[in-house]
Chain A
Amino acid sequence: MRRPSARKRWSWRSQAFRGLLWQVVAVLLVGFAVWFLAHNTLENMRARGIQSGFDFLKGPAGFDIGESLIPYDALDPYWKAFLVGILNTLRVAIIGIGVATLFGTLLGIGRFSANAIVRGLCYAYTETFRNVPILLQLLFWYLVFTEVLPPVAEPVSVGPFLLSKAGFSFPWWVEGRWSVPAPGAFSMEGGASATPEFMAVLMGLVFYTSAFIGEIVRAGIAAVPKGQVEAASALGLPRGLQVRKVILPQALRVIIPPLTSQYLNITKNSSLAVAIGYPDVVSIANTSLNNTGRAVECISIIMLVYLVTSLSTALFMNWYNKRVAIQER
């Protein structure tokens, strides 16, 4: 049935056979490892009568969450508690991405300033903040908020904006009218407040990541050939137009891919919030893990949430990158 030439290819030494063998071995090894771990886990759980499964998500959570974007009550089910955690993660990540991008861009442009002091400061900032671990920065900002700021009763105020141990309070639209915060017995009453936990996470993420973004923007601008700027000047374009029409479009192509990974980093680094008590998804999962003992389930939820956010951020940025990329041919 086989032709002789075909049989000849199937020798021990043929590349195709070796390739196949390698693949079979790799798949078997990985499969064996997965089976081994899964088998042990199930065996352990069965032997101790540990309950497992995702059914717990429907039961009442029974714990309060300090801050929430959606109405949440302790009698709500676990899935809703997780949702609150996910929204808290997204909130700090999205605001962080926005502010860090703005800040980082300014830093990057500042490196080309005509003024030596501005250049020097931008450089010093970049080197300082990117060479200190982000966790340390988070802890530091949290300490500044809780230790250095005044108590709720006597806040530092700039107009209606208040800074105190209760965080950053500002006027907000509540029930159809503007409400201005004022110190209450234990917390700020009226308006809206960003808690010290939120502020510390946000500041840590922004200060750390903007240093990296600044470096990326600097490299992007540096990659634009000098001749382009000179040509634009020769055409008589004003400085603003030069930046908008000539430098930025070209720099963006260099900037977008590394910027994407910085955005992913912000999202992933927001998980460090657990160290300072911000109720992000990791913190909620930790509490749930303890109340229910569903360790495998809770940690898979954490991983799934970050995988989905990472992949969707990456997809969006790839789409955007395609839009700004040079249209070849």
Chain B
Amino acid sequence: MNKTTVSLAIALALAVPFGAHAGKTLDSIKQKGQVACGVHTGLSGFSQADSQGNWDGIDVDYCKALAAAVLGDASKVKYVPLTAAQRFTALQSGEIDILSRNTTWTLTRDASLGLNFIGTVYYDGQGFLVPAKSKVKSAKAMKGATVCVQSGTTTEKNLTDYSRANKLDMKPVVFEKIEAATGAYFSGRCAAFTTDASGLASVRNKEAKNPADHVILPELISKEPLGPAVRRGDDEWFAIAKWVLFGLIEAEEYDITQANVEKLAAESTDPVVMRITGKSEDTGKLLGLDKDWMVKAVKAVGNYGEMFERNVGPKTPLNLPRGLNNQWNKGGLQYAPPIR
């Protein structure tokens, strides 16, 4: 009898804490003291850990900016490396607060996976990487070729569409992990490797023994707006995540940089700059953040342009042109709604 009572008591004890409702994302982040950020397991330029466990990349920088804006400290990020297959459930289940893992924004994902995309960090398109010695000049010449691809990505479906539309009859070899897919490509199992062009550049320039041995074909076969996503059901957190990204983009537009942000915050008389730095209007209050949330974010990682140049731009091994990712007034697509 005693044992029964004990068992029931244990069952109840287990049930009570779980019954309580989880707080809002922002509150729980403040309480935990860190932002749990889902990142790629290793894609140089986007998110990659060195052997010391330090993360860098443009996706990682966004997480740092978010942590700086919310907690005032860019180091308060818990990185959760995720495979393509794991990422959505990790976000849905609350294991991570934000998914910043070069994820393509599509209707199906937005509407049925229980998440909200907050914007686009990198406008991309899918391409093919082939060995230079295969002398292939166009994807259309690869009839019947085997193509290595990572599972659980939009790339897998785009490849199918492209192959169908052009009657190429390509054979996908699908891997769960990107290391396995690139490993198989480099060993010669596949005639081509396909993923977003930025990913191809990353693989070619960082993982190939000699980048010149591999060529990225000119065709881009899809639109791949890559951006972070948050869980549905918390509009306040959605707004914060969105505006940190917009803020970083707008900071570039108004030449607010990592180096000058504190000086500008103190001295600038430009009304737009004063609003962004929280000097004139307290936009932070509207979001539930500190007044100088944008100053902290820019101070931590720089503006969007600096993030781009540092991680993937022409001066990095990835050597990606600014292209579509330039500011709207410089011929690109990056256009942030105004902070006001």
Contacts and interface: CB of A to CB of B under 8 A. Distances in A.
Direct contact of A and B (CB under 8 A): yes
Contact of A287 (B151, B181, B189): B151
B137 interface: no
A41 to B, nearest CB: 10
Interface stretch (B54-62, B110-118, B260-268, B325-333): B110-118
B146 to A, nearest CB: 6
A194 B189 CA distance: 13
Contacts of B1: 12, 21
Interface in A82-141: none
Contacts of B115: 48
B269 interface: no
B92 A279 contact: no
B40 to A, nearest CB: 15
Given A25-B4, A62-B157, A143-B187, A275 B85 contact: no
Interface of A: 12, 21, 25, 28-29, 32, 36, 40, 44-45, 47-51, 62-67, 74, 143, 145-147, 151, 165-166, 184-187, 189, 195-197, 274-277, 279, 283, 286-287, 289-293, 295
Nearest to B176: A274
B88 interface: yes
A187 B113 CA distance: 38
A197 B171 CA distance: 13
Contacts of A165: 187-189
Q: Which 9 A-B pairs have the closest CB atoms?
A: A48-B114, A290-B152, A50-B114, A186-B145, A146-B187, A293-B113, A146-B189, A48-B232, A51-B112
18 contacts: A25-B8, A32-B11, A36-B15, A40-B18, A63-B156, A66-B173, A66-B174, A145-B189, A165-B188, A187-B144, A195-B173, A277-B176, A279-B174, A283-B151, A283-B174, A290-B152, A293-B88, A293-B92
Q: Majority SS of interface residues in chain B?
A: mixed
Contacts of B156: 63, 287
Interface string B169-202: 0111111100011001001110100000000000
Interface stretch (B159-167, B213-221, B292-300): B159-167
B321 interface: no
A277 B174 contact: yes
Interface residues of B, number: 52
B4 A185 contact: no
A149 to B, nearest CB: 9
Contacts of B291: none
Contacts of A276: 175, 180
Contacts of A65: 172
Interface string B212-255: 00000000000000000001110000000000000000000000
A146 B184 contact: yes
Most chain B C-beta atoms within 10 Å of own C-beta, residue among A12, A29, A40, A185: A185
B163 A147 contact: no
A292 B8 CA distance: 39
Contacts of B148: 277
A279 B172 CA distance: 10
A48 B187 contact: no
A185 B161 CA distance: 22
Q: Majority SS of interface residues in chain A?
A: helix
B105 to A, nearest CB: 14
B31 interface: no
Nearest to A50: B114
A137 to B, nearest CB: 16
B153 interface: yes
Nearest to B94: A44
A286 B152 contact: yes
B57 to A, nearest CB: 22
B146 A166 contact: yes
Given A66-B174, A291-B108, A74 B160 contact: yes
B151 A290 contact: yes
A256 B223 CA distance: 57
B8 to A, nearest CB: 7
A64 B160 contact: yes
A51 B8 CA distance: 35
Contact of A185 (B18, B143, B152, B232): B143
B256 interface: no
A290 B176 CA distance: 11
Nearest to A22: B4
Most chain A C-beta atoms within 10 Å of own C-beta, residue among B18, B114, B142: B114
B108 A289 contact: no
